[in-house]
Structure 1
Amino acid sequence: DSLRVDALAAWLKEHLFPAASADAAEAECAGLDESHAGRITRSVRNSGREFSAWINRHTAGWFDMSSLVSLLFALRGIRKVLMTYSSPSGAQMLWWALSLMRGWRTV
């Protein structure tokens, strides 16, 4: 069983995540210090980054994982508002606005 899993991992690395080693080197150069995180946490984060890079490559740079999920949530939210004729409260809209702006850089 372990040989099959190793073969599957090698195939996935070669066919689905060929730039993973370049992304890992880029992340290290970007100053991401994850020495405090456990091995499983680092593995999950790296898998998420690799999947996000895969989405980015296959959508010609239009999306990454977070932007694609955001788009899906936005479309679902718009559909729900239009079908149920409901709207969020003012406080909820203010929270969303502040959450979206968090981390944005202004010139």
Structure 2
Amino acid sequence: MTTSPASAPQNQTVLDALSRCAAACEQCATACLQEEHVHMMVSCIRLDRDCADICRLTAAFIARGSDHAKHVLKECIEICQKCADECGQHQHDHCQQCAEACRACVAACQHYAG
């Protein structure tokens, strides 16, 4: 799992997925705060924020070739899946887009992890 700078281009797919997921989660959390019944969106907002944070952290660990990237990646997959499940339950476009980005991130992370 440890990467060197020479293998950095091979990491671009997972780094892109992590970045897209973090952005989608941030956008979803912001949009959820604008919903009429925001109290019903609390779990979604919390997971969005957790997911965005773990995606950014995971990307940093992968980009630097950290020996700990494997452990962070495992947690990222778990949180992204939970976020996809939560957002997928809501009919709002921003939630559906977030769920899609989270599922794509899970797939990219699983592929990267081998």
Q: Would you tell me which structure has more helix in proportion to its own residues?
A: 2
> Which TM-score applies when normalising by structure 2?
0.29
Relative contact order: is structure 1 or structure 2 higher (C-alpha 8 Å, sep ≥ 6)? 2
